[in-house]
Amino acid sequence: MSKEHVFSRRNFILNTGKAGLGLVLATPALASLANNNKSITIEGSDIGWQQSPLGYAYKALEPAIDATTMEIHYSKHAATYAKSLGEAVKDEQVNTGSTRIEELLRNISKYSPKMRNNAGGHYNHELFWKSLKAPSGSNAPTGKLAEAITKDFGSFDAFKNQFNEAAKTRFGSGWAWLVFTSDNKLVVTSTPNQDNPLMNVAEVKGIPVLGLDVWEHAYYLKYQNKRPDYINAWWSVVDWESVGKRFPA
């Protein structure tokens, strides 16, 4: 059995194994991918079971995302997912002290529809908030993530076009994703409702690096039925520094 490299904020302990591969996903998150195993294991995360403070003012993302939409989205929709998740884990006797939310998502088919909808909704929104910042002119990834995007998509523009298409054509409510898969590639996919690529029910499985909420509640007050306009504006508020930290090094 392969041993894992375990990283933390302040130190790391390296254990040598035959086939294990440790990958830093984010501080303090870590992902481990076995060379001959298509499953992906998340060993740590900065996403917990309860809603985190937003980290910026509701108006910080204007004009791309208006303050009223942000307030309703965060304080009503996302807060309800967090509250309902708390109810579900209590009803289904999940020990949140010893179980990470990623572990539950990887085994979501074992749980109720309420758990699937709200665990996904909570995780997805927490990831979404952490991926945004105030607009600041030219906005593009750098470093290893930029290199990987160019390698796997041909260029940043080609990646954006593919991501835009996935977001625009997701029928009904759902999410568009940039995902790191078990064969060490970045791919674009989308999921319905509050599903995500960590779930064992997902068509494309992997580590979510970047996600875009295309539920109508995320954009309808400002953009009405013009989802493509919302998608185009959203690129200006992506926090590529934060997103880059989730990309395995």
Q: CA angle, 49 as apex, 112 and 29 as ends, to 5°?
A: 115
- 45 — pLDDT class (breaks 50, 70, 90): low
pLDDT at 162: 98
Tokens of 173: 């409510």
Tokens of 128: 């979404």
The continuous run of DSSP H or E covering 179 comes out as strand 174-180
pLDDT digits (tens, 9 = 90+) for 153-201: 999 999 999 999 999 999 999 999 999 999 999 999 999 999 999 999 9
- Confidence (pTM): 0.83
pLDDT digits (tens, 9 = 90+) for 57-116: 999 999 999 999 999 999 999 999 999 999 999 999 999 999 999 999 999 999 999 999
pLDDT at 38: 40
Nearest to 178, CA basis, from 159, 195, 201, 151: 159
**Domains along the chain with CATH numbers:** 6-44 (no CATH), 58-130 (1.10.287.990), 143-246 (3.55.40.20)
| C-alpha 149, offset from chain centre | 17
Based on the number of CB atoms within 10 Å of its own CB, is 190 exposed (0-12), middle (13-18) or buried (19 or more)? buried
What mean pLDDT is reported for the chain? 85
